[in-house]
Structure 1
Amino acid sequence: MAAVALTPGQSEALSELREIVRINEGRVRIEDVRDPQQEDLSLAVDMAIDCRGETTAESSVPLEDWEPVTVLVPPRFPFEHPEVTLPHRRFAGLPHVMWADAICLYLAANDWDPGRRMHGFVGQLLTWFEEVARGTITGPEVPWHAPLTGPRTGEYLMIRTDLPESLENDSALWLALAVVQSIGGGRHDVRRWLRGRDEANEIRAWHDRRFSEGDFDVRGMIFLAPAVALPEPVGFAYPRSREELLTALAGQGLAQRDYRELREFTRDFNGGIWDGYDPAPDLLLLGSPAPDRYAIPSRIAHVAAWALDLGEDLDEVGWLTVFDQRPRITTRRDTTRPAQWLVGKRVLVLGCGALGAPTAEFCVRAGAAETYVIDDAEVRPGVLVRQPYTFEDIGRNKATALAERLSVINPDALVLPMPFDAIDLITGEPPMSEVDLVIDATANRSVASALEWARWTAEGRQPPLLSMMVGHDCERAAATLALPGASGAGVDILRRLGITASTDADLHDVLDDFFPAQPRGAPFQPEPGCSDPTYVGSAADLAAFAGQLLNDGLAILTSAEKAHDTAFPRRWASVARTSTAGAAGVARQRLSWPNDQVRLDPVLRYQMRVDPAALASMRREVDLMADRRGLHVETGGMLLGQIDQASRVVWITDADGPPPGSEASAEGLKLDPTAARGWARRRRRLTRGMVAYIGAWHTHPDYLALPSPKDREAMDEMASDGMPVLLMILGGGSGRLSRWVAGNELPDMHLQLFFPDPEDGRDAPVLP
């Protein structure tokens, strides 16, 4: 066969080799050049390395005066590195020697530097021979490669379960059984390891029961494969022929009789299960330990799978590709990253849209044991722009379609669709306390309010709640995280973020995006029939924001678990911006707030949340009044905050002193409600309505914190303009108020809502 023309890269490599011979003063020489016989073959250059006088008492292997090597230059040189073969097997067993006749100079593709070309390659080859001569040749510092196997069958074996302790602790040669599931498409999964034949009978009973119950799928059929654990490392490669392999196994102590008996047992077992179907795969698993220098925490470092059913008369051994994913020896690629928090967790994702769907996928890939996805909407054509559905999914329920796709990522993980309204789950049974994390990606105000209400009214454990949202033009995103023990949930923390943004110049863009002062113009409705106004944003935008917000939330959860500190904040928010929006502030910000003081209106069943800053303002006012007129004179003022009748929460965000026109005396305090509301108007405008006048507070210096008839009469009058108002009394019985002013303890607190009188034509709230 005539030689083919060299590629430009091969021609350059040959020129470089000749130049290296010239400048290396006889250290290397070219013996022969054999052009490739086909276009996809390598250029073969036979060379000799001068090793005269190099062999010493410490040499790994005695070297000849001139050591022959063949350099194979691939057609794509320098973008593909050359290889080195040997015309002998004297170096078998040395580090970096594979198949006993090839030297592996590069452990990975990125070890090869194309810029150094043949000069770098020859330099590395000479270094290898020098280290052999000195006896200092070492293998890679990590277990980078399993022993090489020969021709592949095209099938593969997945190992996802660790060896039992009894086998891990047995360092001698042993024979065992692997329970393998035939998945189909040439794939087989090791599901369990058995010490002996008695355990195999349990597997047979399980299979028979499964068959009788109708839970039977040919693609999921099981079979047994004998497994041999070798006591010594194999080296860089298994023998190529059947005869050499059997001889090598016998050399490690495998008795042919034991091997034959185990094979006969597995064949009989598999024949009984696969009766009436094609024969079960006939495999032999070979496990080898790692060299001593490798710290692999398993008796078996590498597993190879020999396909025995190619025929006993064939000399060549057929091997399956093995993907070894045993937890004991596998290091996840996301280790040390925030997503590690999700391993083994149960996660509930509310909303399967542009944020929820990628977030659910991130959870499954991170190793969540159970992921529940809930959404009652169907897939529409327009959402394919940014939501991970296909044309075939149009008209299907989002939760169902998403769960089907995510279920194939990890067969050991449960992905369960819930194709109904999230509010039904929040307000019904079973409680959300059964999961480890709730993620609200609905961006739905009703869902957020239901969550806020459910978190403070439900009894028992409350999992962390991570709520996500994006701005109207997808330039910004925000997330809130309520840790267990937080005084509020998503609505609470988002409101807190907005209030903070109203006085922080670095967050003004967030205030304008998520809390606009005026309603935006025409809503964005992308297609006819889209009933809900939406936002502009691409799949890339939403996936990026979903990943950032999830990562930040998981990082906080990880820190909280490590802190073991009651002072660790329980309410958090994260803000993320695109590069174009970053000019308005830093790309990412994380904020936290201490818990509010929480009290309950015992009559109307509203939860009252008193900001520590509001209490501090009241304390200052009480202290000032005590300095001016004595501690026995009542004082008080306005309460600023918000009343949310949907989640039945009242926020007391700030407290001012008495507005103009107020009267304070030892007998009581009288406020003018009209003056009070006018006094708070600027605060309401700055906070976009989140901090407004909601009621009044005053002290009972010498009495318990209980409303007097005058207090009730005053509050009824304040509510007469149609707005509910809050009364807060700080009591001083038994010197409690004076101790609070001294900084020793909190005062008695009474908080009560007063609604307009229904006899005036206005409805009072109905108790739940």
Structure 2
Amino acid sequence: MAAVALTPGQSEALSELAEIVRINDRRIRIEDVRDPQQEGQPLAVDMTIDCRGETTTDSSVRLEDWEPVTVLVPPRFPFEHPEVTVPHQRFAGLPHVMWADAICLYLAANDWDPGRRMHGFVGQLLTWFEEVARGTISGPEVPWHAPLTHWRTGEYLMIRTDLPESLENDRGLWLALAVVESIGGGLYDVRRWLRGRDEADEIRAWHDRRASEDDVDARTGIFLAPAVALPEPVGFAYPNGREELLAALAGQGLAHQDYRELREFTRDFNRGIRDGDGQAPDLLLLGSPAPDRYAIPSRIAHVAAWALDVGEDHDEVGWLTVFDQRPRITTRRDTTRPAQWLVGKRILVLGCGALGAPTAEFCVRAGAAETYVVDDGKVRPGVLVRQPYTFEDIGRNKATALAERLSVINPDVLVPSGSFDAISLINGDPPMPEVDLVIDATANRSVASALEWARWTAERPPPPLLSMMVGHDCERAAATLALPGASGAGIDILRRLGIAASADANLYDLLDDFFPGHPRGAPFQPEPGCSDPTYVGSAADLTAFAGQLLNDGLAILTSAEKAHGRAFPRRWASVARTSTAGAAGAARQRLSWANDHVRLDPVLRYQMRVDPAALASMRREVALMADRRGPHVETGGMLLGQIDRASRVVWITDADGPPPGSAASAEGLMLDPTAARGWARRRRRLTRGMVAYIGAWHTHPDYLALPSPVDRRAMDEMASDGMPVLLMILGGGSGRLSRWVAGNGLPDMHLQLFFPGPEDGRDASVLP
């Protein structure tokens, strides 16, 4: 047969080799050049390398004076690296040697630098021989290569389940059974390992019960395959002939009688079982250990799958391609990344839109045990530009369509769905599932308020809550994370982020995006009709933001778990920006806050959250008044914050001294409400309404923290202009006030809301 023409790359490689030989004429010789005989074959160059006198006493292999090698130059050189083989097996077992005669100079394709061409390749080869000669060669920290199997059937076997400990600890020859499921399309999945035939009875009973319940004649899907664990390494390749393979197995102790009996048992068990492609296949799984020099974390380093019923009319053995994904020997590609926190966790994702859908997919791919998706919306044509739905999904419920798609990514992850609104779930209809993390991706204020209320009124400690949102032009995104024990959740932390942004030039762009002071002039309405005004953003934008925000939240959760009881902030916020946001702040920022001091109004059932900074301001004012007018004179001032009547939360963010027009004496403190609100107007404007006048605080230096009749009349008068107000009293009973001023403990605190209307101060608008 006439040789085919060399490719330009092969011709250049041959010229480069000739130049290398000329430069290194005393170390390298070209003995023969064999052109490819067919299109696509490599160019073979037989060479010898001078190794005279280089072998040391530390070397495990003594090199010949001239070592022969064959360099195989692929047609696509230099964009594909050459291979090198030797015509003997003296290097078998050395690092980088595969199948006894192939020297693997590159662990991965990316290790090859095409720019260095043959000079780089020959340099790598010479270095390998030098290290062998000195006895300094070391192997890569990867498992030994699987024994080579030859003729492939085109089918695939996936193994995702570790061997039982009893089999892992058995170093001898053992026979077991694999429970295999047919996935379809020539793909099979090992679901369980059985020690013996007795354990197969439960599989048989399951089959029979299923056939009876489904009223079907043929059992489907699950079948058995015998598994043999060999006590010694196979070597670099399995025999290609049937009789030769059986002889090799017998040489390791597998008696022909045992093999036949096990095969007959599984054939009898599998009779009548069909997979999606017809009759269940007849397989034999062969497990082999690695050589002693390799530290493999499993008794079985590699598994091969022999298709017993393929090629029975001739001697050649047929093999399945095996994807060995056993956790014991497989290193996940996302190991050490924040997504590792999700492994085995139960996740609830509220909202299956542009942020929620990719976030749910990230959870499934990470290996969460369960990813519950909830959304009552339907797929509209306009969302296809940025949400992972298809044309065929239009009109379907988002949660249902998403769950169907995610369930085929990882069959081990449950993806239940709920086609109802998130508020119903939060309110317990249906009951909220027990999960390890709640992700609110609805960007809905009502959902956030319902979550805020539900979390502080819950009887049991709630799980962490990660809330995500993007800005109106998709240039910024933010997430809040409430860890277990946090004094507030999504609305609480987002509000805290907004207050921080009002005082920080590096965050100020967030105010206009997430807390606009007035309605936007031209709301973006993507579709005609009754579609909700939304934001501009592409699939690339939203997927990138979803990944960043989720990663940051998971990194914080991981750090919190590693804190092991040490002080760790409970409230967090993350900010992400695009490169075109044009803001002073960094592309990614993370902020955290200590918990507020929490008290409850037992009558109205409002939760009061006092910022430590506000309490510190009160302490300074009390100390100042004690120095000026004596410890028995009441003092106080304004309370600044916000009253949220939906989540029934009152935030006391700051405290000022008494405004102009106030009177303080030993008998009490009187504030002018009009002057107080005017005094706080600038702060309200700067914070977009998040810090405004909400009431008054004062001290009872010599009495308990309980409102007097004078206090009640004063608060009723302050609430007479139609706005609810808060009364906060710091009491001095048992000397607690003076100890607090001195820096010890907290004072007695009384917090009570006063609403316009009923004299008892109850909120008639929300209470029966």
Q: Please classify the TM superposition score into its range, dividing by the shorter chain length.
A: over 0.9
Which residues in structure 2 correspond to 1:196-211 (within 5 Å)?
196-211=196-211
Q: Which amino acid aligns with 2:324?
A: D
C-alpha separation between the residues in 2 aligned to 1:311 and 1:418? 50
Cα contact 1:98–1:237 (8 A) shared by 2: no
Q: Which residue of 2 aligns with 1:741?
A: 741
Could you tell me the percent identity over the aligned residues? 90
C-alpha separation between the residues in 2 aligned to 1:541 and 1:701? 57
C-alpha separation between the residues in 2 aligned to 1:661 and 1:288? 90
Q: Which residue of 1 aligns with 2:496?
A: 496
For residue 188 of structure 1, report the CA deviation from its aligned partner. 0.6
CA deviations over 1:61-105 (Å, ceiling 9, x no partner): 566555443322111011112223444555555554444443333
Q: Which residue of 2 aligns with 1:184?
A: 184
C-alpha separation between the residues in 2 aligned to 1:702 and 1:58? 88
Which residues in structure 2 correspond to 1:462-481 (within 5 Å)?
462-481=462-481
Aligned pair in 2 of structure 1 residues 42, 715: CA closer, same or farther (>3 Å)? same
2:704 matched to 1:719?
Answer: no
Q: Which residue of 2 aligns with 1:507?
A: 507
Aligned pair in 2 of structure 1 residues 562, 99: CA closer, same or farther (>3 Å)? closer
Q: Which amino acid aligns with 2:188?
A: H
Q: Which residue of 2 aligns with 1:344?
A: 344
Q: Which residue of 2 aligns with 1:309?
A: 309
Q: Which amino acid aligns with 1:399?
A: A
For residue 530 of structure 1, report the CA deviation from its aligned partner. 4.6
C-alpha separation between the residues in 2 aligned to 1:469 and 1:648? 23
Q: Which residue of 1 aligns with 2:641?
A: 641
Q: Look up the SS of the partner of 1:147 in the other structure.
A: coil
Q: Which residue of 2 aligns with 1:250?
A: 250
For residue 213 of structure 1, report the CA deviation from its aligned partner. 2.2
Q: Which residue of 1 aligns with 2:453?
A: 453
Cα contact 1:605–1:648 (8 A) shared by 2: yes
Aligned pair in 2 of structure 1 residues 565, 62: CA closer, same or farther (>3 Å)? closer
Aligned pair in 2 of structure 1 residues 657, 759: CA closer, same or farther (>3 Å)? closer
Cα contact 2:497–2:573 (8 A) shared by 1: yes
Q: Which residue of 1 aligns with 2:115?
A: 115
C-alpha separation between the residues in 2 aligned to 1:486 and 1:276? 51
Aligned pair in 2 of structure 1 residues 244, 9: CA closer, same or farther (>3 Å)? same
Cα contact 2:85–2:101 (8 A) shared by 1: yes
Aligned pair in 2 of structure 1 residues 477, 135: CA closer, same or farther (>3 Å)? closer
Which residues in structure 2 correspond to 1:569-718 (within 5 Å)?
569-581=569-581, 583-718=583-718
Cα contact 1:181–1:220 (8 A) shared by 2: no
C-alpha separation between the residues in 1 aligned to 2:149 and 2:412? 29
Q: Look up the SS of the partner of 2:235 in the other structure.
A: coil
Aligned pair in 2 of structure 1 residues 479, 135: CA closer, same or farther (>3 Å)? closer
Q: Which residue of 1 aligns with 2:440?
A: 440
Q: Which residue of 2 aligns with 1:214?
A: 214
C-alpha separation between the residues in 2 aligned to 1:692 and 1:583? 27
C-alpha separation between the residues in 2 aligned to 1:152 and 1:748? 79
RMSD: 2.4
Cα contact 2:157–2:320 (8 A) shared by 1: yes
CA deviations over 1:499-544 (Å, ceiling 9, x no partner): 1111111111112211122221110112202531111111111111
Q: Which residue of 2 aligns with 1:281?
A: 281
Q: Which residue of 2 aligns with 1:292?
A: 292
Q: Which amino acid aligns with 2:513?
A: D
2:161 matched to 1:161?
Answer: yes
CA deviations over 1:458-490 (Å, ceiling 9, x no partner): 111200001111111111111111111111111
Q: Which residue of 1 aligns with 2:35?
A: 35
Q: Which amino acid aligns with 2:159?
A: I
For structure 1, which segment, 437-446 or 64-73, has the greater mean C-alpha deviation from structure 2 after superposition? 64-73
Q: Look up the SS of the partner of 1:198 in the other structure.
A: coil
For residue 51 of structure 1, report the CA deviation from its aligned partner. 5.0
Q: Look up the SS of the partner of 1:726 in the other structure.
A: strand
Which residues in structure 2 correspond to 1:327-366 (within 5 Å)?
327-366=327-366
2:14 matched to 1:14?
Answer: yes
| 5+ long unaligned stretches in structure 2 | none
Cα contact 1:181–1:188 (8 A) shared by 2: yes
Q: Look up the SS of the partner of 2:253 in the other structure.
A: coil
Cα contact 2:728–2:750 (8 A) shared by 1: yes
Q: Which amino acid aligns with 1:282?
A: D
C-alpha separation between the residues in 1 aligned to 2:436 and 2:22? 69
For structure 1, which segment, 140-149 or 303-312, has the greater mean C-alpha deviation from structure 2 after superposition? 140-149
Q: Which residue of 1 aligns with 2:319?
A: 319
C-alpha separation between the residues in 1 aligned to 2:215 and 2:379? 31
Q: Look up the SS of the partner of 1:243 in the other structure.
A: helix
Cα contact 1:184–1:220 (8 A) shared by 2: no
C-alpha separation between the residues in 1 aligned to 2:442 and 2:123? 60
CA deviations over 1:152-171 (Å, ceiling 9, x no partner): 11111110111011101011
C-alpha separation between the residues in 2 aligned to 1:676 and 1:564? 45
C-alpha separation between the residues in 1 aligned to 2:752 and 2:559? 38
| 5+ long unaligned stretches in structure 1 | none
Q: Which amino acid aligns with 2:446?
A: S
C-alpha separation between the residues in 2 aligned to 1:320 and 1:687? 66
C-alpha separation between the residues in 2 aligned to 1:287 and 1:707? 79
Q: Look up the SS of the partner of 2:764 in the other structure.
A: coil
Q: Look up the SS of the partner of 1:661 in the other structure.
A: coil
CA deviations over 1:404-428 (Å, ceiling 9, x no partner): 1111111011001111100000111
For structure 1, which segment, 527-536 or 464-473, has the greater mean C-alpha deviation from structure 2 after superposition? 527-536
Q: Look up the SS of the partner of 2:664 in the other structure.
A: strand
Which residues in structure 2 correspond to 1:364-383 (within 5 Å)?
364-383=364-383
Cα contact 1:147–1:235 (8 A) shared by 2: yes
Cα contact 2:705–2:730 (8 A) shared by 1: yes
Q: Which amino acid aligns with 1:728?
A: M
Cα contact 1:348–1:373 (8 A) shared by 2: yes
Cα contact 1:182–1:219 (8 A) shared by 2: no
C-alpha separation between the residues in 2 aligned to 1:694 and 1:144? 70
2:560 matched to 1:545?
Answer: no
Aligned residues: 767
Aligned pair in 2 of structure 1 residues 106, 621: CA closer, same or farther (>3 Å)? closer
C-alpha separation between the residues in 2 aligned to 1:139 and 1:247? 32
C-alpha separation between the residues in 2 aligned to 1:130 and 1:704? 87
C-alpha separation between the residues in 1 aligned to 2:374 and 2:216? 30
Cα contact 1:379–1:393 (8 A) shared by 2: yes
C-alpha separation between the residues in 1 aligned to 2:679 and 2:54? 95
C-alpha separation between the residues in 1 aligned to 2:490 and 2:645? 16
Q: Look up the SS of the partner of 1:349 in the other structure.
A: strand
Q: Look up the SS of the partner of 1:115 in the other structure.
A: coil
Cα contact 2:4–2:38 (8 A) shared by 1: yes
C-alpha separation between the residues in 2 aligned to 1:628 and 1:57? 91
Q: Which amino acid aligns with 2:614?
A: A
Normalised to the residue count of structure 2, the TM-score between the two structures is: 0.95
For structure 1, which segment, 509-518 or 267-276, has the greater mean C-alpha deviation from structure 2 after superposition? 267-276
Q: Which residue of 1 aligns with 2:426?
A: 426
Aligned pair in 2 of structure 1 residues 43, 275: CA closer, same or farther (>3 Å)? closer
Q: Which residue of 1 aligns with 2:754?
A: 754
C-alpha separation between the residues in 2 aligned to 1:55 and 1:718? 97
C-alpha separation between the residues in 2 aligned to 1:534 and 1:398? 17
For structure 1, which segment, 438-447 or 47-56, has the greater mean C-alpha deviation from structure 2 after superposition? 47-56
Cα contact 1:60–1:137 (8 A) shared by 2: no
Q: Which amino acid aligns with 2:536?
A: V
Cα contact 2:7–2:75 (8 A) shared by 1: yes
Q: Which residue of 1 aligns with 2:103?
A: 103
CA deviations over 1:703-734 (Å, ceiling 9, x no partner): 22111222111111111111111111112122
For structure 1, which segment, 422-431 or 99-108, has the greater mean C-alpha deviation from structure 2 after superposition? 99-108
Cα contact 1:60–1:136 (8 A) shared by 2: no
For structure 1, which segment, 599-608 or 247-256, has the greater mean C-alpha deviation from structure 2 after superposition? 247-256
Aligned pair in 2 of structure 1 residues 613, 49: CA closer, same or farther (>3 Å)? closer
Normalised to the residue count of structure 1, the TM-score between the two structures is: 0.95
For residue 315 of structure 1, report the CA deviation from its aligned partner. 2.0
Q: Look up the SS of the partner of 2:262 in the other structure.
A: helix
Q: Which amino acid aligns with 2:165?
A: E
